[in-house]
Amino acid sequence: MSDITIDQIEILRLVDQTGSVVDAAKKLKRSHSSLLYSIGQLELALQQKVVDRTEYRLKISPFGKQVLQHGHKILEHKQKIFDLSKQVGVGWPQSMSIVYDGFLDVQPILRAANQVSTISRRTQVSIYAEHLRGVRDLFEKEQADVMLSVFQEQNTQGEGHELKPIRSWLVCHKDYGAAEKKLTDMEVASWPFLIVKGTDERLELPTRDLDSQAIVQLGDFYAKKLAIMSGYGFGWLPEYLISQELKSKKLVPIRWNSDSRYLFKPRMYTNHLVAGSKAIELFVSKYLLLNKV
């Protein structure tokens, strides 16, 4: 006796539902003859007719109806198996990607990601750093799972998770003498202004209208800190990165006509296409715990 296939049961069910082999073939996007062949193979395996060919329109035979009663259970179990596969795949996927703005402290990101890797060894976690508008661009390009941005991004699913605000300081090395007197815009603009990978129209930093004579672009905020610590120019740095240097006064906030502080209000977003992922839920919960607002 030949084996019965799930494909044959599915074809028989669809013929019964549509009342026509032709209509069933259209739904399956297969040829009329291929469906008739599968039905014939099913009858050969069962040694019984599952369709009645005595009338103009082919219809399911009484025996075929009995086959379908049992076949429905087989098809239900098949769907449950596929659903289980999806749940497992989404729950602990083979990979998870995170895109964050390099202005943010990477340490809590790494700690939260490590929790995922510890619990799910099969999940490969990739972490990408970008800056400003590049964060959203990379998130969409890579179809990443999590995005950590210093802006409230538009056209995303929901408003995202509000994160702990990050204060940024406009600082220079102590030898610049910026703490000794209040400087004019012209005096500040005469120094090299250090930035990280361009700017963004959404930034409302007090220096946005400053006409600096020399602008130096660096790759990340750690390089920027080293440059300023060496006495090369001035720029904005996150407070968490320079707290000790501010305390020891190796770096000093610039006193000038505008504010030397700026408060960023970052947010975390998740890709709505992977909703229900245990890996992402774990990362989000651990990261929020480390970044209590």
| Span of 54-63, 110-119, 237-246 with lowest mean pLDDT | 54-63
Question: According to the model, what pLDDT value does residue 275 have?
Answer: 60
CATH of domain 167-263: 3.40.190.290
**pTM to 2 decimal places:** 0.66
Question: According to the model, what pLDDT value does residue 87 have?
Answer: 45
**pLDDT tens by residue, 253-288:** 999 989 999 999 999 998 876 666 888 889 999 999
Overall CATH class of domain 6-90 = mainly alpha
Cα pseudo-dihedral 285, 286, 288, 292, rounded to 10: 130
**pLDDT tens by residue, 126-145:** 999 999 989 999 998 888 99
Report domain extents, the chain. 6-90, 92-164+266-290, 167-263
Question: According to the model, what pLDDT value does residue 85 have?
Answer: 53
Question: According to the model, what pLDDT value does residue 135 have?
Answer: 93
Mean pLDDT of 107-123: 90
The CATH superfamily label for domain 92-164+266-290 reads Periplasmic binding protein-like II (3.40.190.10)
199-233 per-residue burial string, b: 16 or more CB within 10 A, e: under 16: beeeeebbbeebebeeeeebeebeebbebbbeebb
Q: Which residues contact 27 (CB under 8 A, 6 or more apart)?
A: 14, 18
